[in-house]
């Protein structure tokens, strides 16, 4: 019995120490909802984070390099619009994993995955331009924070599912699993960023 307990504890320790690998795919539906999964059900899902061991180190270096590359722009945009730069980083990492060339199956583009109307409304003429994309996305995030009285969860839910979806559910996070997962992921990255 004692040996079984020791084996269980050892296996538990090993399972928490070993990394879990899963690619992350994203799908932006025509209604604006964003879906994330590690098991895509159709070919409109786009691979946004490759975490399998074969390319893990390369992908991590790429993400780290791009994060460093875009940090000065993020800081400028965050300062101009009065948004915590760590929050902008968390949104960008969740939306595109710092890939400025990211394009969703429904046409969201760039680091902050802007749709054409949102980009135009918040000042991005060229959504593929990292600076314009970050400035417009940050300005949009600032607008949402103001709209929802600085409620971070609702603002992030609106960034993901649209402000009308949040209003439809009486200023609560919509009951979409993807949106709920998105909010948790951004908040988790934001908390990690604040601790660094």
Catalytic residues: 95
- Which of 96, 94, 119, 54 is closest to 182 using CA atoms? 94
CB under 8 Å, gap of 24 or more: what pairs does 111-118 form?
111/70, 111/137, 112/136, 112/137, 112/138, 112/140, 113/28, 113/137, 114/140, 115/32
> Distance between the two ends of the chain, CA-based, in angstroms?
43
Could you give the dihedral angle defined by the CA atoms of residues 134, 126, 35 and 65, in that order, rounded to the nearest 10 degrees? -50
Do 190 and 196 touch, CB atoms closer than 8 A? no
């Amino acid at each position: 019995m004692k040996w079984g307990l020791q084996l269980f504890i050892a296996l538990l320790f090993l399972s928490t120490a070993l990394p879990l690998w899963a690619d992350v795919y994203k799908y932006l539906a025509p209604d604006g909802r964003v879906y994330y999964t590690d098991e895509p059900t159709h070919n409109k899902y786009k691979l946004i984070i490759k975490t399998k061991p074969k390319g893990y180190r390369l992908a991590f270096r790429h993400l780290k390099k791009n994060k460093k590359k875009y940090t000065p722009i993020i800081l400028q945009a965050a300062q101009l619009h009065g948004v915590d730069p760590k929050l902008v980083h968390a949104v960008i990492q969740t939306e595109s994993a710092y890939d400025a060339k990211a394009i969703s199956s429904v046409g969201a583009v760039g680091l902050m995955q802007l749709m054409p109307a949102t980009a135009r409304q918040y000042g991005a003429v060229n959504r593929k331009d990292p600076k314009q994309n970050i400035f417009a996305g940050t300005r949009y995030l600032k607008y949402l924070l103001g709209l929802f009285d600085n409620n971070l969860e609702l603002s992030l839910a609106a960034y993901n599912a649209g402000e009308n979806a949040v209003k439809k559910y009486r200023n609560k996070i919509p009951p979409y699993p993807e949106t709920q997962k998105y909010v948790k992921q951004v908040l988790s990255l934001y908390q990690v960023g604040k601790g660094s």
